[in-house]
Structure 1
């Protein structure tokens, strides 16, 4: 794959997948967070994950300058001819997945399905709070510690800690700068499913449900036990996404709502 996209189902040779799942990261997250999902994928489903500049294995690189740079890099990769594509985005990744979905529609390469997890549409994001957190070093470091995504030994090393905080500042700035979702809904050829954590205090279920007007083919919202990081607490969500991809293999064209 490329620096931008990692493949977590290496047992699938290039060109042999019957469906693809492409996962996009949360604030500060990397492609490795999706690696455990590979065990949940049925035969023929290729699990891919985006690694943004300044994240994960690309941590030493400068973060992307903005949304346009990310979408311009990912669109030709995701639009390559191939089997049905399912986009999954968690938290900030949901906004990235939505923006990528619109770009793929614009170049006549729509995904078969879009899964938006633990995030509201951009117009409901508290942009002021995101910017304030990005600009407060002490609060930002405490936020990183609370998330638990960075090992304590990384945060104790000054050089590594600064790289992590640089990435978080960039992601929070990106989150605060997402344009409001376009008013015209995604066309019915893309099924849209939303997921929410029952105990998510950052983006509770009613905010995630606000995606419904942005899809012609709305497949509903499922509320899953857990907090903001519910997709990574057990195999419930990866198996749900795998089943969605498997359905695309069995019946790739479903023009109307179920």
Structure 2
């Protein structure tokens, strides 16, 4: 995987610490770009973006700063889980539009953009919003149990869900392989939706089902690591590696 580097995009409410085991496994293989999102990651004084285009523009500016002679776009492997999958995909689209797409895109736990539904969880009252997010099992329990932390994170959770709700529902076609994984019992990303991801990428794209729901999939950062490393090493041969 000579020259490979990585960009990791977080799920709803997540930040630079969203994938600790994945990050630990990647750091020995190449540079890891961890974007800083408003409302967290040292940007607590800034309101989180509630529109997808605003959020994507911010993250694109950060990714552009990383590009140069020593970090070429065609050496980049993009990864995201849930909301992060949409962000990683948008970065792949913008790189391709710029003239050189990434080496590969790896996504987990999210329908592709054209199959997103019109969920409006962000419009729920606070208590119902927290309950809905808690039911997914991906929110840190210590935050859910702490009234002060919960109050601090509520605007971020609400903005992130609003951003997802405003994502354009348009088909995406990429010149790089797209490798997707999904929970076999994930109510937020059905198997048929996950199966559509490889059709968005070039030949060699792949699909893997993982037993469990949305939260169980996030726990399988070992599989995420294997997929990202395989995509970096042999982008069109992931199916035989993980």
TM-score, reference length from structure 2? 0.82
Contact 2:114 2:169 (C-alpha < 8 Å) held by counterparts: yes
| 1:61–1:223 Cα change, 3 Å | same
- Kindly indicate whether residue 127 of structure 2 is the aligned counterpart of residue 142 of structure 1: no
Give the Cα–Cα distance (whole angstroms) in 2 for the partners of residues 27 and 180 of structure 1: 19
- Kindly indicate whether residue 163 of structure 2 is the aligned counterpart of residue 174 of structure 1: yes
What residue in structure 2 maps to residue 28 of structure 1?
Answer: 13
Contact 1:88 1:115 (C-alpha < 8 Å) held by counterparts: yes
More off after superposition, 91-100 vs 210-219: 210-219
| 1:136–1:123 Cα change, 3 Å | farther
TM-score, reference length from structure 1? 0.77
Shift of residue 95, structure 1, vs aligned partner: 1.1
- Kindly indicate whether residue 235 of structure 2 is the aligned counterpart of residue 243 of structure 1: no
Shift of residue 68, structure 1, vs aligned partner: 2.3
**SS class of match (2:8):** strand
Shift of residue 227, structure 1, vs aligned partner: 2.0
**SS class of match (1:33):** coil
Contact 2:8 2:80 (C-alpha < 8 Å) held by counterparts: yes
Pick one of 69, 86, 89 that aligns with 1:95: 86
Pick one of 205, 222, 237 that aligns with 1:219: 205
Alignment of 1:83-232 (within 5 A): 83=72, 84-127=75-118, 130-146=119-135, 147-152=137-142, 155-158=145-148, 160-182=149-171, 185-187=173-175, 190-217=176-203, 219-229=205-215, 230-232=217-219
**SS class of match (2:206):** strand
Structure 1 unpaired stretches of 5+:
1-16, 249-253
| 1:42–1:65 Cα change, 3 Å | closer
| 1:114–1:30 Cα change, 3 Å | same
Q: Give the number of aligned pairs.
A: 229
Contact 2:52 2:164 (C-alpha < 8 Å) held by counterparts: no
1:148-197 CA-to-partner distances (Å, cap 9, x unmatched) read 52343664334x322211111111111111001236x212xx11111111
**SS class of match (2:79):** strand
Give the Cα–Cα distance (whole angstroms) in 1 for the partners of residues 153 and 204 of structure 2: 36
Contact 2:80 2:107 (C-alpha < 8 Å) held by counterparts: yes
What residue in structure 2 maps to residue 61 of structure 1?
Answer: 46
Shift of residue 220, structure 1, vs aligned partner: 1.9
